[in-house]
Amino acid sequence: MIIKIKNKDTLIIGEFKLKCCIGRNGISKNKTEGDLTTPAGNFKIGNLYWRDDRVKKPITKLLCKKIKRNMGWCNDINSSYYNKEIKKNKKIRYEKIYRNDYKYNYFILIKYNYDKPEKNKGSAIFIHLTKNYKPTAGCIALKKKDFLIFAKIIRKNSKIIIN
């Protein structure tokens, strides 16, 4: 199943068109860490993560993983764990996954720069939640209702095309 981002504000999957938002600085073929762009290209989809203290496990065919307090996502370009899920470590820079806000109550990994990560090419690109469609730091965001529809439709072998 192919997922497409169209006109920077629409996610298309099958017959569904879902309103979304992307990185503040648009889409880039030359993404770098912290540039606030959403990477262009064709990518695989990874696990779906959820906060079981706040939301129910969604209906999906994706592998699901509970978010725990000690989880982070490495964005430290000098670490061998760059762009991987990690346990929080004061010696490594990371993005918090167990957040105080709602944005990561659910999220799905986009496997950008993931299998063999290149340093400074960007990390932690997710499909996560939004309430107001404000631009993200590089992720794609959907309203919760649309995220849950999306999660039901996609498969482990789904690919996302961002251009």
pLDDT in tens, 68-84: 999 999 999 999 999 99
> pTM (2 decimals)?
0.96
Give the chain's domains with CATH numbers. Answer: 2-162 (2.40.440.10)
| pLDDT tens, residue by residue, 91-134 | 999 999 999 999 999 999 999 999 999 999 999 999 999 999 99
Find the farthest-apart pair of alpha carbons in the chain and give their distance in angstroms, rounded: 46
The 3-state secondary structure of the chain reads CEEEEECCCEEEECCEEEECECECCCEECCCCCCCCCEECEEEEEEEEEECCCCCCCCCCCCCEEECCCCEEEECCCCCCCCCCEEECCCCCCEEECCCCCCCCCEEEEECCCCCCCCCCCCCCCEEEECCCCCCECCCEEECHHHHHHHHHHCCCCCEEEEC
Tens digit of each residue's pLDDT (9 = 90 or more) over 98-107: 999 999 999 9
